[in-house]
Structures are given as structure tokens and as C-alpha cells.
A and B are shown apart, each in its own frame.
Chain A
Amino acid sequence: AQTVTQSQPEMSVQEAETVTLSCTYDTSESDYYLFWYKQPPSRQMILVIRQEAYKQQNATENRFSVNFQKAAKSFSLKISDSQLGDAAMYFCAYRSYNGNKLVFGAGTILRVKS
């Protein structure tokens, strides 16, 4: 079974600075998808970014980018120019290429200081 580990329960960043959230996963599969989701206090999970394992190029979405290291099974999220609205719980998630379910990590609380 696949597992996802987020080793940072909580992180803090100063507004306008950059922060990196860590994620590692365990799988024996070669094709899969990885995701970062944001869960603000409103509780609604929002997709931040996704990465296909067969793509070597790291995904980027505006201020959000990932560092995908397939051999190391690492998938970190970098948030540049942090904003107060980025404060939330961030979850890393895995999905098999032909699977139907997401496997989530335990999450990292991100606090943004003004």
C-alpha cells in the first residue's frame, strides 16, 4: 500500500518570503500522480498543484512550484512571495495512475506572519 509522509507538522513564513513544505511517499508503482491540496479554515480542500510521475519537468502554478525527485520519492512544495491568504493546512496526496482514490499525508499547518 502507498503511504505519504509529511514530516513538518507546522511551518511559519514571513509575508513576501519563500517557504518549502516537504513530502515523501512510498510506492512500488512507476506511474502515478502527486498533488498538493490546501485546506483553509473554511474546510474546503482546494487543489494547489499536481505532478504526473512520468513528467520530469517540475510543475508550476504562479507562486507555487514543486521539486519532484522520483528516485528519492520526494515531492516538496515551494511557495514564493508568501501572502496572508496562503495560511492554511497543506496536504500532500498520491494517486495511482489507474487508481480512484487519493492517499493523503497528515498535513502541514502553514502560518504566515505579517
Chain B
Amino acid sequence: DTGVSQDPRHKITKRGQNVTFRCDPISEHNRLYWYRQTLGQGPEFLTYFQNEAQLEKSRLLSDRFSAERPKGSFSTLEIQRTEQGDSAMYLCASSLNNRLNEKLFFGSGTQLSVL
């Protein structure tokens, strides 16, 4: 078990291009979260999955953003028609569904730069 993995670690793209990030959670974890962190700020919640079901989405997740978690394993976050304001670090986290003692394990993030 190597923890939560995110790929790529860095992504540079031109405005208007589409990008996709991947997150591999810890294998037995059934809950998966995406957060976005801009420079000098704390992470902001984007969305979360329980198994393959996307159960909550932030209003920050505009229609250009889509997240999937097929088969309840890895997850992808796609941003279409990127804008400079999308430049941020995108963090993935996973946990076991244990409400009282839930502990999130975070990946190292994907740093997106939109030129």
C-alpha cells in the first residue's frame, strides 16, 4: 500500500485545452474526494464519491468540470476549455466509510498551470 497516488504531478496547458487528472486511492477505501488549492489558500472542496456514486458536488465545480469514478476504484477529474483561473493544485483524498473516526489520506496533488 503506497498511499494515494495522483498523476501527473505537474501539468502545463494552454488556455482552451482540455486536461484530465487521475487519482488512485488506497485500495480498500470507498470514499474519494477532490479538493482544489490555490496559492496561499487552504484547499476547497470540489466533489466526493462513495464507491462509484458521486454524492456531493460543490458549486465551484462548473459545467466545465467533470469527475468520474468507474467501478469505485480510481477517479478522473477532467477540465474542459481550461481558463487561467483554473490554475491551482488539485488534491485527491480517500478514506474508509467510518463516520466516527474517518481519517482522510491525501495525495501529493496535481499542479495545473494554464498559460
Instruction: Tell which of A42-50, A58-66, A72-80 binds the partner.
Output: A42-50
Instruction: Tell me whether B108 is interfacial, beta carbon within 8 Å.
Output: yes
Contact of A100 among B42, B55, B89 (CB under 8 A): B55
B48 near A44 (CB under 8 angstroms)? no
B107 near A103 (CB under 8 angstroms)? no
A47 near B104 (CB under 8 angstroms)? yes
Chain B residues with CB below 8 A from A98, complex form: 99
A91 near B107 (CB under 8 angstroms)? no
Q: Give the complex CA separation of A45 and B42 in angstroms.
A: 11
A104 near B44 (CB under 8 angstroms)? yes
Interface size range on B against A: 20 to 34
Q: Give the A-B contact count at a CB cut-off of 8 A.
A: 47
B91 near A45 (CB under 8 angstroms)? yes
Q: Min CB distance, B99 to chain A, in Å? A: 8
15 other contacts beyond A44-B3, A106-B40, with CB at 8 A cut-off?
A44-B106, A44-B107, A45-B93, A45-B104, A91-B43, A100-B31, A100-B48, A101-B48, A101-B56, A102-B35, A102-B104, A104-B43, A104-B44, A106-B41, A107-B42
Can you list 7 pairs linking A and B with CB atoms under 8 Å apart?
Answer: A43-B89, A43-B108, A47-B103, A101-B45, A101-B58, A102-B45, A105-B42
